[in-house]
Amino acid sequence: MAYFKVEKIQFEGPKSKNPLAFKYYNPDEIVMGKTMKEQLRFAMSYWHTFTYMGTDPFGGNTMARSWDQTSDAMERAKERVYAAFEFMEKMQIPFFCFHDADIAPRADSLAETNRRLDEIVAVIKEEMNRTGIKCLWGTTNAFGDEKFVHGAGTSCNATVFAYTAAQIKKAMEITKELGGQNYVFWGGREGYETLLNTDTELEMDNLARLLQMAVDYAKEIGFTGQLLIEPKPKEPTKHQYDFDTASVLAFLRKYNLQDYFKINVEANHATLAAHTFQHELNQCRINGVLGSVDANMGDPVLGWDTDQFPTNLYDTTLAMYEILLDGGFKKGGLNFDAKVRRASFEDEDLFYGYIAGMDAFARGLKVAAKLIEDRVFEDFKEQRYASYKEGIGKDIIDGKVGFKELEEYAIKNGISHNRSGRQEMLENILNQYIIETR
Ligand code: XUL
Ligand code: CO
C-alpha cells in the first residue's frame, strides 16, 4: 500500500518550475571527486518526520497522517516503518536516524519495551534489505518520559541513572543490529534549572561515568560505529552541560574520553549558543572531532529551537566549506533534524521540506567546492598570516624565542604596519560565488 500520492522526486535542474522536483540535488553529479549522494549523505529524522503531529506548547495535533490511523500501537509502529521507507525511497534519501522511542511504543515494563523494539527492528531490517537504505545513527530518548524529570545520567536519583544505562544498552544493541554507522548522545535533560539544588560536580562526574560505560559496552559487543555527542546550550533545561563544542571538548578531556567521541553539530543549537553554524563546525574541524551534522535552522527573530528545514544558502555554503576542508564526511552525514511548520500539515509538505533542505545543501556543496578549488579564502588567509612564515614570526612558531628575546626584538624593531582585514570585499566575493557558481 502506498501512503503518499507524490511520485519519486527527480532532479530536473534549476530551470524547472515543478515544485516536486530537485533543482540542485543531482545525486550522481560528481563534486570534488565524489557523487553528491556520497558527499552529502542525507538522512531522514524518524522523529520529526514520522512522529511529529504538529503540537506546540499552546495546542495539539494539526496533522492527521495516513500511517497513523490504526488504534493498535504496535500496528501503528509497523505502518510507520512502511511509510518511512516509502518516503525515503521517493525522496532518494539514503539514510535514516532514530530514537528508540520513535520506532516502538514504550510499555510499562522495560522488558516488554525491549521486546517491542525487537519486533519493530525486524520489520525495519526487512525494509532496509528491500530498499538498500541504511542507518546513519541511533540514539535513546532519555528525556521525554516523566522519570527523567531530574535528568537521566545526571539525575539525583540513582535508580534513574541505572534505568538510563539500561535504555542506552538496548538502544546501542539495536543500532548495531541495524548497522548504524554512529551512535548519538544528546543529553536532553542533562543540565539544571537552578544551582540552589544542584551538585554540578557529582552530576558531571556521573555523566562521564555513563559515557565511559557506553564506551566499554560498545567495545564488548563489537559496535564499531562512531560515538557522537550533540551539544546544545539550553532547552529543555536552562543550562545544558553539553553547551557547545568547546565545552564538550573540555568535558571529554577532563574525563579522558576524548579518544572515543566526536561531535554531532546541530545548526539551530549553534544559534542558541550564540555561535554561527560555521563556527561550531570550524571548532570541530580544527580539533579533529567533526563527526556528523543535524541539518536544520532556527529563526533569527525567535530565540528557541524551531528546527526548521535549512534554506539559508550562506549557512549551507559555509557549512559545506568546513566539511569539505575536513576531507568530507567519513561515517557522518547530514541528518535533517527538521520539521515542517505546524500549519504545513498536509503529507505533501514533508516533500517540500526535504526538497528545500536537500537543494539548499546541494547548492551549498557546489559553491563551497568552487570556493575551495579557487582558494578564495585560503590565499587571502595565507597572505594575512604571512608574517609567521619567516623572521621573528617563524621563530615564534618554531618555539625558538621566549619573552626575553621578544622584548629585545620589540625594542629594536617596533611593529610593522597592520593591514586591512577586507571583510566587506570577502563578503562580496562570497555573494558572487553563491550567485554565479554553476
Ligand atoms: C533536540 C535534538 C535531538 C537530537 C537527538 O534538540 O536535536 O533530536 O538530535 O536526540
Ligand atoms: Co539534533
Condensed to tens digits (0 to 9), the pLDDT of residues 410-424 reads 999 999 999 999 999
Question: What mean pLDDT, rounded, does the chain reach?
Answer: 98
Distance 337 CA to ligand 2 centre (A): 5
pLDDT at 1: 72
Candidate from 167, 232, 244, 297 with most ligand 1 atoms within 8 A of CB, to mutate: 232
Distance 334 CA to ligand 1 centre (A): 13
pLDDT at 436: 98
Cell digits of residue 51? 512522529
pLDDT at 264: 99
Q: Ligand 1: which residue has its CA nearest to atom 10? A: 186
**Which residues' Cβ are closer than 6 Å to ligand 1?**
99, 139, 184, 186, 230, 232, 266, 294, 305, 337
Q: How far does CA 379 lie from the centroid of its chain?
A: 30
Distance 418 CA to ligand 1 centre (A): 44
Amino acid at 26: N
Q: In angstroms, what CA-CA distances link 84 with 93, 101, 432?
A: 11, 15, 39
Q: What is the pLDDT of residues 295-308, one digit of tens each?
A: 999 998 999 999 99
Distance 269 CA to ligand 2 centre (A): 8
The ligand that comes nearest to the alpha carbon of residue 272 is: 1
On the question of pLDDT at 37 being above 90, the answer is yes
Give the number of the atom of ligand 1 that is nearest the alpha carbon of residue 335.
9
Does the pTM of the predicted model rise above 0.85?
yes
Q: Ligand 1: which residue has its CA nearest to atom 8? A: 337
**DSSP designation for 11:** B
- CA separation for the pair 220, 254 (Å, rounded): 24
Residues with CB under 5 A from ligand 2 (ion): 266, 294, 337
On the question of pLDDT at 352 being above 80, the answer is yes
Q: Ligand 1: which residue has its CA nearest to atom 4? A: 186
Q: What is the pLDDT of residues 311-344, one digit of tens each?
A: 999 999 999 999 999 999 999 999 999 999 999 9
Q: How many CB atoms lie within 10 A of CB 130?
A: 10
Q: What is the pLDDT of residues 196-224, one digit of tens each?
A: 999 999 999 999 999 999 999 999 999 99
Q: CA Rg, the chain, in Å?
A: 24
Distance 186 CA to ligand 1 centre (A): 6
Amino acid at 92: Q
Phi, psi of 335 (to 5 degrees): -90, 120
**Those residues with Cβ within 8 angstroms of residue 127's Cβ, 6 or more apart along the chain or in another chain:** 81, 82, 84, 85, 133
Cell digits of residue 149? 524529570
Candidate from 102, 230, 297 with most ligand 1 atoms within 8 A of CB, to mutate: 230
Distance 332 CA to ligand 2 centre (A): 13
- CA separation for the pair 79, 74 (Å, rounded): 9
The confidence band for 192, taking pLDDT boundaries of 50, 70 and 90, is very high
Candidate from 294, 306, 335, 336 with most ligand 1 atoms within 8 A of CB, to mutate: 294
Burial readout 27-65 (b: 16 or more C-beta within 10 A, e: otherwise) = bebebeeeebbbbbbbbbbbbbbbbbebeeeeeeeebeb
Candidate from 240, 244, 269, 337 with most ligand 1 atoms within 8 A of CB, to mutate: 337
Give the number of the atom of ligand 1 that is nearest the alpha carbon of residue 143.
10
**Those residues with Cβ within 8 angstroms of residue 231's Cβ, 6 or more apart along the chain or in another chain:** 240, 242, 243, 244, 245, 247, 248, 263, 265, 266, 269, 273, 280
Q: Ligand 1: which residue has its CA nearest to atom 5? A: 186
On the question of pLDDT at 87 being above 90, the answer is yes
**DSSP designation for 309:** P
Give the number of the atom of ligand 1 that is nearest the alpha carbon of residue 235.
6
Amino acid at 357: G
Percentage with pLDDT > 90 across the chain: 99
The ligand that comes nearest to the alpha carbon of residue 266 is: 2
On the question of pLDDT at 48 being above 80, the answer is yes
Q: Which residue, 6, 81, 84, 80, is CA-closest to 43?
A: 84
Which residues are the active-site residues?
99, 102
Q: Which residue has the cell 494539526?
A: 62
Distance 338 CA to ligand 2 centre (A): 8
Q: Of how many residues is the chain composed? A: 438
Amino acid at 419: R
- CA separation for the pair 269, 286 (Å, rounded): 19
